Amino acid sequence: MKAKKALKRLNKVEALLSNVIEQFPGTKAGLGVLLDSAKAAVVHAQKTVSSQLKKPSSPANTARQGRLTPEGRKRISLAAKKRWAVARRKGVNAVTGRRLSETA
């Protein structure tokens, strides 16, 4: 279950427990103590889940996603040139894969 969904459900459970605790007389054989401990457990779970929700801040100097860096562009160019050289040695077109015609 995702953290946001779990937090929403825990909030509902806490509200329901609070409502029951307010309406129920606490003198019945320690039942009030059990309800209070249940509410404390729900509050503790809420704190734990909400601490997981907070994302660490990302550094400001990260590269933009979706953009090609000059270094990456150079690597792609070199890799393409190597593929083309291998294709020429084999006598096939690098793009289509068909045999090159002998013009020389």
53 pLDDT band (50/70/90 cuts)? confident
Q: Is 13 exposed, middle or buried (CB count within 10 Å of its CB: 0-12, 13-18, 19+)?
A: middle
Q: pTM for the complete prediction?
A: 0.49
Q: What is the mean pLDDT of the chain?
A: 84
On the question of pLDDT at 26 being above 80, the answer is no
Which residues, at least 6 apart from 99, have a Cβ–Cβ distance to it below 8 Å?
A: 91, 92, 93
62 pLDDT band (50/70/90 cuts)? low
Per-residue pLDDT, 104: 47
Q: What is the mean pLDDT of residues 26-30?
A: 68
Greater pLDDT, 54 or 58? 54
